[in-house]
Amino acid sequence: MEMRRILLVDDDDDLRSLWALVLQRRGGFEVSMAGGGEEGLEIARKDRPDVIILDLHMPGMDGRALRKALDAHPATRDIPIILATASSPEDVAGVDCLAVIQKPIEPQQLVGRVQDILATTAARRPEGGAPVLTRAPERKRILLVEDDRNFRDVLQAVARSLGLEVYAVPSLRGARHFCERERFDLLVIDGLLPDGTGIDFISWVRERDDAVPILYVSGVFRDDETIQGLRCDKRVNQTLTKPVGAEALAMEIRMLLDVSLAPDDGLEAEMNERRRSFALRLLGQLDEVGLRVLDARNHPRDAEKLEEAERAAHMLKGGSGSYGFLGVCRAMSSIEELLRLLQGRLVAGSDPREDEVLWGALGLALSQTRQIEEYRRVAGAPPLDA
């Protein structure tokens, strides 16, 4: 059987290296890489890969521009695109692609999504022609509707142990967006969300899909009658009361989806070594973000320097999240958002005294990031209080 070819287009060197490892070792794919849109377009035209994994935000030719360039050429317009981005579902709604994966992503999720795309696309590609479409069973996927970051982290770990793919969204709006575009094998739904209740979403789902299993997780179950009403009236398959541990969650998911533990193929040891290597580089990358922020602070009316600082934070957010350093990932997300606020205020005109508050928050976020112990432990550095 011919080895399937993947093209990774992303300007983050660490992420490209990590994804290539996972796709080669766990997926058995042949992987080529490009650090930007122009290079990606050249490789796509020459090699015609089976699927392209594409970052949305890149300097020069970004993901949107590359998608348009691929569409303009008969040899590349039918190549399936998986968009990998940290942007919200609403931000990527206008980009023509067959799938969207939110960064940071779990290795099993990445491999599973690529396998899904290839299962529904061209088992063979005629010379000079478009792909011949076939259909095959997809890997089992979970939609998690939950605004508690800690619970999302637990479920991601459980899904990884079961070989499942997880889409996590913190709002009903994002959940509806994905349900309108994707098919899921299980919905895990929180009881209370920022823009409504889990019951609201379940009612919406049941009007469209009477069969998909639903696991309802909440800290507010008042009595057995309420639970029975959920199961009878809303056709909820199972309920769990928070706090819930990983073992209980895994047991319920395994019963609902009839899955077993994923085999260990030796990838975990190499992933751990790569994670340690990334941790060793984290302090230097944090210094780089700090220097970019300081440069922007010294030139507060320079939009380009603000964009450079935001870009550095965005890059480190993606890398740290993919390697499991979630504290750093969350901190970089906050820094990125503060820098975007400053950019918006620069365009609209702002009160310098109010800007000082944002700059103060940036400085505090950066200092706190260096206190995060998770990457220091992995790197073998002594504790800060030692």
Which has the higher per-residue pLDDT, 67 or 133?
67
Does residue 370 form part of some domain? yes
The answer on 80 and 33 residing in a single domain is: yes
Is there a contact between 192 and 221 (Cβ–Cβ < 8 Å)? no
Q: Which residue has the higher pLDDT, 140 or 66?
A: 66
Put simply, whether the predicted model's pTM sits higher than 0.75 gets the answer: no
Asked whether residue 277 carries a pLDDT value surpassing 60, the answer given is yes
Residue 327 covered by a domain = yes
CB burial of 24-46 (b: ≥16 within 10 Å; e: otherwise) equals: ebbbebbbbbbbbbbbbbebbee
Q: What percent of the chain has pLDDT over 90?
A: 16
Q: Are residues 105 and 42 in the same domain?
A: yes
Find the range with the poorest average confidence among 43-52, 66-75, 117-126, 251-260.
117-126
Neighbouring CB atoms inside 10 A of 386's CB total 5
Which residue would you say has higher pLDDT here, 186 or 218?
Answer: 186
Q: Provide the percentage of residues in the chain whose pLDDT is more than 70.
A: 79
pLDDT at residue 19 in the model: 86
Q: How confident is the model at residue 33 (pLDDT cuts 50, 70, 90)?
A: very high
For residue 386, pLDDT over 70 is answered with no
The residue behind tokens 């009839």 is: 258
Residue 1 is predicted with a pLDDT of 44
How many domains does the chain divide into? 3
CATH of the domain at 99: 3.40.50.2300
Q: Do 225 and 283 lie in a common domain?
A: no
The confidence score (pLDDT) of residue 7 equals 93
Of 9, 11, 17, 51, whose CA–CA distance to 277 is shortest? 17
The verdict on 244 and 342 lying in the same domain is no
Count Cβ atoms below 10 Å from residue 330 Cβ, excluding itself: 17
Distance of CA 29 to the CA centre of its chain: 21
* Assigned domain for 262 exists: no
How much is the pLDDT for 259? 67
Residue 129 lies in a domain: no
Name the least confident of 41-50, 129-138, 364-373.
129-138
Q: Over the stretch 165-186, which tens digit does the pLDDT of each residue have? A: 888 888 888 888 888 888 889 9
Q: Are residues 242 and 297 in the same domain?
A: no
**Residue-wise pLDDT tens digits, 286-307:** 888 999 999 999 988 888 999 8
Which has more pLDDT, 261 or 133? 261
Of the two residues 252 and 127, the one the predictor is more confident about is 252
Among residues 223, 257, 291, the one where a domain terminates is 257
Overall size of the chain counted in residues: 386
In a domain, 182, yes or no: yes
pLDDT of 375 over the 90 cut: no
Residue 160 is encoded by which pair of tokens? 């990884």
- Out of 82-96, 180-194, 350-364, pick the least confident: 82-96
Reduce the DSSP state of residue 258 to 3 states and report it: coil
Q: 121 pLDDT band (50/70/90 cuts)?
A: low
Residue 79 contacts residue 9 (beta carbons within 8 Å):
no
Residue identified by tokens 């000082």 is: 356
Question: 44 falls in which pLDDT band (50, 70, 90)?
Answer: very high
Indicate whether 157 and 251 sit together in one domain.
yes
| pLDDT given at position 106 | 67
pLDDT band at 41 (very low <50, low <70, confident <90, very high): very high
Q: Which of 257, 277, 300 is the last residue of a domain?
A: 257
Query: Is residue 242 domain-resident?
Result: yes
Which tops the pLDDT comparison, 226 or 30? 30
Residue 127 lies in a domain: no
Q: What is the pLDDT of residue 120?
A: 60
- Where in the sequence is the domain holding 210, given as residue range(s)? 141-257
User: In sequence order, what are the beta bridge partners of 241?
Assistant: 218
User: What is the reported pLDDT for 43?
Assistant: 93
